[in-house]
Structure 1
């Protein structure tokens, strides 16, 4: 199982898709999938929210080979991209897939990367097939400059997009933000030089026809694996979601424990109350200054991951003019009293 591609084209496939790979807790998506059929070599990447596919038409000699697909793990992609860059752009690289590794062969060197052939990758052909079969009134199909699209990242927000017409500006809406991006003149995709959506879609019909019908990225992508308990999200929206979940779970857990386990009952109350307080403060901060809220969420995540929050709290209390030693002594006295009461009971 082997195909051939020049170094420049392989580098392009990686560059076009590497920004879309999933994180380490979604193993089937944590990398770039090299997928070969009888006509093309595809590079596929997804983080569950975006899905990117770049393709390269195989040389004539390769077009009778056996199809294969392997996920190149994300941890090896920088090394692979560096190795590809070390090759002359016109140098042809062979890509061979074995059970547990993929080998890249250059003129003077080779690179072998271990892979897991058992990882189940989403049916990307089926997902894109379903999306391309969606219809909208008027079929607006503007061409947008990718270079201009990166400018919207500075909003740091979830943006709504409204496509108005094929050759008219695309509207962008955010939190207290509105913008527009003009389409660019476009001569078509590949040799067809045609601007219509149907004409462009037909170029992918053979590829996407191999996918299942009716798939949906919202339900047919791999779920993220549970983070280790010490891993904290740096995303402000995920932080808010986790706080709300804590409040609701604490409310469920405290029922029936007021008399049977008063300490546990009080712990659930405290967890719920403090979770709600933290959510409300985070929500207010995000409303006042979304960028600062994101920075604080990331900073707090790092502090929690360090495992030193007791030390941080002690220092913060002293800086605020409180007496943490007195708090410590009073709580120790309370614990001794509670222990004595339990022993006497």
Structure 2
């Protein structure tokens, strides 16, 4: 009875919940609960005041197993996390619960942790289910400890927050993460000492009275004024820019004349396709690992701002076992051949442009050249027909 998960996903499950473990004075909570229910593998942790559960959907071959659960002691978590970091993210790790231990096995190494299978853990599903079923008060106004809220930062990404009453825990929900945080029980100084919003607002009335009415934060803040080009620094900004590039290229593609401006037509296709591919890859990465997506966008922004992406690409190609010099040679040959093949077409375009300029009364001078010539009889510029190669 074992389940398989890659090293990257297992590390994420631990990272999302480890901040919530209880201290050594609460033995049942001093660790991370591994819980498999036949559909998901969960990591669950709580310090009594916060509760966090992250999940990973099991592979098809692992879904027919009996449910099991055990708590990995807090004293073993650092060593386990380091062992996982020693693997590349795509390496599969098999997790097998045993009588008094839980074993982690990969093609590289094995790691076993002693566990107390009789250690009771709170019914975390029941706790969270109750919170989802709570009826909400009309105007809840609970107080929260900022240090407890900060623990949820390790899960990263976006949450929906549901607050029902002043006494019940608030519920945080995301696609593969769910958690709860208890309100603070404190009657000290400041806004937290009062129990209604109106009383708390009164504490700031003198300060806020100097502000204007109807001022909205979303519309009143100044907009950023970026330079002509600045690499996107966030996943949302990067994704939005790529989608905009796809739409712009599609519009320009329809406006371009395939026969009269083939180069522009081809360029729009390449730009649109490249932007769409990049967006799909970025979106998939952000779904799988928001942390890695943010770091990647930041790294790419730094590389783009350096102006040395050609060097970065060359080094990356060599590291991947490709031959960038061969690519460059092939590209140079292709461009040279294209120029020779399409020289008559470009000569026609040049003659057309010169005639437009002449008819518009624009003065210019053209030196003798093998591409265009002025036809005195027709009073217009014409392209010089290429000579047939002699055999």
- TM-score (norm: length of structure 1): 0.56
Give, in angstroms, the shift of residue 239 of structure 1: 1.3
Superposed, 1:112-191 pairs within 5 Å as 138-187=138-187, 189-190=189-190
CA contact (8 A) 1:235 1:294 kept: yes
- 1:318 and 1:242 map into 2 onto residues whose CA distance is 29
- 2:310 and 2:329 map into 1 onto residues whose CA distance is 15
CA contact (8 A) 2:231 2:304 kept: yes
Match of 2:322 in 1: 322
Stretches of structure 2 that go unaligned for 5 or more consecutive residues are 1-135, 346-391
| Corresponding residue SS for 2:254 | coil
Give, in angstroms, the shift of residue 332 of structure 1: 0.8
- 1:191 and 1:217 map into 2 onto residues whose CA distance is 22
After superposition, what is the alpha-carbon deviation per residue over 1:147-194, rounded to whole angstroms, capped at 9, x for unaligned? 222212111212221111112111112341111111112326539953
Match of 2:219 in 1: 219
Which structure has the greater CA radius of gyration? 2
- 1:260 and 1:187 map into 2 onto residues whose CA distance is 77
Match of 1:123 in 2: none
- 2:184 and 2:232 map into 1 onto residues whose CA distance is 38
4+ residue runs over 4 A deviation:
none
Give, in angstroms, the shift of residue 312 of structure 1: 1.8
Match of 1:304 in 2: 304
Q: How many residue pairs are counted as aligned between the two chains?
A: 209
After superposition, what is the alpha-carbon deviation per residue over 1:208-260, rounded to whole angstroms, capped at 9, x for unaligned? 3333333322222222222441x322312221111111111111122222233
- 1:194 and 1:299 map into 2 onto residues whose CA distance is 46
After superposition, what is the alpha-carbon deviation per residue over 1:77-103, rounded to whole angstroms, capped at 9, x for unaligned? xxxxxxxxxxxxxxxxxxxxxxxxxxx
- 1:326 and 1:193 map into 2 onto residues whose CA distance is 72
CA contact (8 A) 1:188 1:195 kept: no
1:243 aligns with 2:242: yes
After superposition, what is the alpha-carbon deviation per residue over 1:299-334, rounded to whole angstroms, capped at 9, x for unaligned? 222222222211222222222232222211111112
CA contact (8 A) 1:188 1:194 kept: no
- 2:204 and 2:222 map into 1 onto residues whose CA distance is 24
Match of 2:231 in 1: 232
Stretches of structure 1 that go unaligned for 5 or more consecutive residues are 1-135
- CA gap of 1:164–1:192, structure 2 versus 1, over 3 A, is closer
| Corresponding residue SS for 1:179 | strand
Superposed, 1:1-345 pairs within 5 Å as 138-187=138-187, 189-190=189-190, 193-229=193-229, 231-257=230-256, 258-345=258-345
- 2:175 and 2:193 map into 1 onto residues whose CA distance is 38
- 1:139 and 1:286 map into 2 onto residues whose CA distance is 35
- 1:191 and 1:322 map into 2 onto residues whose CA distance is 63
- TM-score (norm: length of structure 2): 0.50
- 2:274 and 2:265 map into 1 onto residues whose CA distance is 14
- CA gap of 1:217–1:261, structure 2 versus 1, over 3 A, is same
State the Cα RMSD in Å: 2.3
- CA gap of 1:281–1:191, structure 2 versus 1, over 3 A, is closer
- 1:214 and 1:307 map into 2 onto residues whose CA distance is 45
The range that moved more, 202-211 or 141-150, is: 202-211
- 1:204 and 1:147 map into 2 onto residues whose CA distance is 23
| Corresponding residue SS for 2:213 | coil
